[in-house]
Amino acid sequence: MDIREADESRWSGLAWCAALLPLLLTPTTASALEATLDAFEESEYSTNINRVNSDADEDEGWVHQPGGTFGAEHESEALTLGALYSARRRFYDSEEADDDTSTVGSGHIEWRVLPELLTLDASNTRTESTISPRGSLAPGNRQDVSSTVAGGTLSLPSFGRQHLDLGYHYDFYSSEKTASGDSLTQHASAAYVIPFSTTRSVSLRFDRSDVDFDNELSADYVNNEASLNFHAEGADVDLDLGAGYSEVDRTQGQDNASGATGHVGVTWRASSDSTGQLTFSRAFDSRSPRAWVGIPDPGEEINDDSSLDAVYVRNTAIASWTQVVGRNQFTLGARYLDVDYEDLDNDQQTTGVNLAIERRLRPTVRGSLFTTFDHIEYDSDGREDDDWDSGVRISWEGFQRLTISLAASYYERSSDASSSEYEEWRGTVSLSYRLLGTRVAGGLGGGNHGGAGRGRPY
């Protein structure tokens, strides 16, 4: 076994240990755990399986995807856990595409060892990402990416209800086929929290992240950040505000970086049928994910615009509005991402919008329409991409455990780089059967969970 294979085995083992940890620590009583298990089969016909340029030979055909989805939830005085993972095997009719396997999803656990004093926690998230950063999420250019975080927090009482929270966590990040981003981050934190009430508080926080890349060509770094934060929950409005300053100390002769950081989060419940959300964040990072597909649910894939492990400043803004009208739910979203590298001419900007409409057509029939648009600019070569994805989906829950879904969608990428342009039509039939647990309308099922979105996997 070479070094790369050994690293893959180590990271994979750690990721799966964290994924299974919630189940291992769950009480064994039958009533303590709510678990679900689905088996599904999804067959999709594509007019351009490999998503190649229209001037090339487009390969059309079927993709068959049997798989299963597991979910678990538990809540008690000492323990909180949740998990939702989906595994599938893709079989391609096309001789130019190799069969592949994917497991995506997320799981978390929080164990209150000593209530209000000591808490241990762990989480794992697995997504799909591109291998070649600017390529499409097509067969041969996709990989599973895993992030596993584990650690604990010690809360020390102070004056009145004030307390000092001390935390230490390990973050294991790994990608299945590209080794450049594999890393171990040790994160230490200290926060002095001043509660004004049960719903409002101010905290002064210090965070130190020590990032160690597996790849010797990637410069390790230490990020120190101090911030002042305010959190408030109201009947109609929730606020989460923070402002700080960050310094990044880098190795291998790289210049250090510093600057202002912060975040803003606002949730406005205008009525029982209307909800608006607005978030903005500015932070230093070392990986460049365009981390949305529409507005993504846990387990949806990430398209990485860059495989570089150079430090950059990330500015992210996301706004959404959800409106319920009768049996219809409308969701309108807008987003902006700016990635500004400290040393490289590899900056990127992404602007996008999405619209989704869901309707309960019958007690057992649900329909949805969606459309998303992203405009991506790359400063390194001036390339610009426009990505469109639109479709319709209908699901029928005519039996207690069986769900049948039909979907059709269209994807198009136009680009300054003509060789990267392509279009694709997709038609999908999926069956999902609940083997364990009670089905909840709109919950788990076969196929692409969480709704359709731009760049979704087959």
State pLDDT tens for residues 268-326: 999 999 999 999 999 988 765 443 333 344 444 555 555 556 788 999 999 999 999 99
CA 358, 362, 366, 369: dihedral to nearest 10 degrees?
-40
The DSSP letter of residue 22 is H
- Kindly list the domain boundaries of the chain, sorted by start residue: 3-436
- Residue 96 · residue 61 · CB < 8 Å: no
Lowest mean pLDDT of 19-28, 151-160, 368-377, name the range.
Answer: 19-28
The SS3 assignment for 118 reads strand
Q: Which residues of 256-291 are buried (b: 16+ CB within 10 A; e: fewer)?
A: ebeeebbbebebeeeeeeebbbebeebbbebbbbbb
The yes-or-no verdict on residue 30 having pLDDT over 70 is no
Mean residue pLDDT across the chain: 84
- Express as a percent the part of the chain with pLDDT over 90: 60
The burial class, CB within 10 Å (0-12 / 13-18 / 19+), for 313 is buried
Give the pLDDT confidence score for residue 17 in this predicted structure: 56
The SS3 assignment for 317 reads strand
- Residue 181 · residue 219 · CB < 8 Å: no
- Residue 5 · residue 162 · CB < 8 Å: no
Q: What is the pLDDT of residues 131-188, one digit of tens each?
A: 777 777 788 888 888 999 999 999 999 998 999 999 999 999 988 887 666 889 999 9
Q: What is the pLDDT of residues 34-68, one digit of tens each?
A: 999 999 999 999 999 888 887 667 789 999 999 99
DSSP lists the bridge partners of residue 389 as: 372, 411
- Look up the pTM and report it: 0.81
What tokens were used for 319?
A: 């706004």
Q: Which residue has the tokens 């067959």?
A: 43
Q: What is the pLDDT of residues 343-358, one digit of tens each?
A: 777 788 999 999 999 9
Q: What is the pLDDT of residues 316-337, one digit of tens each?
A: 999 999 999 999 999 999 999 9
DSSP lists the bridge partners of residue 152 as: 120, 168
* In this structure, CATH architecture of domain 3-436: Beta Barrel (2.40)
